[in-house]
Amino acid sequence: MGEDGYSSGEAGLYLQNTSVQLLHQKKRRRRRMIVCSVVVVVLLITAAVVVRAVLGERGDESPHRQPMKQPDSHSPGTSDKQQQLTNMENPSAMLTAPRGNNTDGKYLLWESELANAYCRGGFNYSNGNLVVPREGMYRVFLQITYEGTPDPCVDELRLTNTVSSISDSYSEPIHLLSAVDTVSCSMKHWKKSLYTAGLFRLEANSRLHVTSVYPKLIVKAEQLVFFGAELLPQ
């Protein structure tokens, strides 16, 4: 009986110690798992922060985030782009009285760049000739103002202006417009403005020019003397 009681007591004590040890082991495992989980979470958060920071820096350096550079007016190609835009405009030209001589002996000369004068959309001017950029229906206009005294008038002056065209199809000048007026020699001082305009179908590269019977009597004022053409909408 004593031995059996002793053995039972030892067995119970052994089981109790074993249970306590197992409990402690489970607690230690839980602590390790918690510590590992915390470490993993911290590492993941740190990695995410680092990746986000790196991507943010790269995004700032991306060319899509760079401020747009304004085109340099002196950079190559700028003048070509401006020329293309100019050629896209509706062709029109306005020539005015020149500052110097107003004739080359045959055709009247004009100012094509200064003040109100211009050539746009492909129009070109050279030595009295206004060159049409492309085929189409054009409005052509001309005004010339004359001013003078009785000298060298005898009876009357017959003032005449003519706009002519030369094209590849017709080498001879074709008269498009004419304006005529007379001035009496009895007038001590006189001034006359002759205006004319019309619509004409012109070929590409046609050359328009103006002739006058009395070029020396033409005033030199751009608001009184002008010549030009413009392409009508198709």
227 touches 139 (CB < 8 A): no
Domain boundaries, the chain: 2-65, 82-231
pLDDT bucket at 119, cuts 50 / 70 / 90: very high
Write down the pLDDT at residue 24.
67
pLDDT bucket at 67, cuts 50 / 70 / 90: very low
pLDDT tens-digit profile of 169-226?
887 899 999 999 999 888 888 999 999 999 999 999 999 999 999 999 999 999 999 9
Whole-number average pLDDT of the chain: 80
Q: Which DSSP string corresponds to 158-224?
A: EEEEEEEEE-SS--S-EEEEEEEEEEETT-SSEEEEEEEEEEEEE-TT-EEEEEES-GGGB---TTT
DSSP 69: P
223 touches 195 (CB < 8 A): no
Report in angstroms the alpha-carbon separations of 66 from 2, 63, 71, 72, 137.
95, 5, 15, 17, 49
Mean pLDDT of 117-146: 97
Write down the pLDDT at residue 30.
75
More confident residue, 29 or 51: 29
Report in angstroms the alpha-carbon separations of 188 from 146, 149, 152, 181.
14, 6, 12, 17
CA distance 153 to 91: 41
DSSP 53: H
Class of the domain covering 82-231: mainly beta
Q: What is the dihedral of CA 142, 143, 147, 151, to 10 degrees?
A: 30
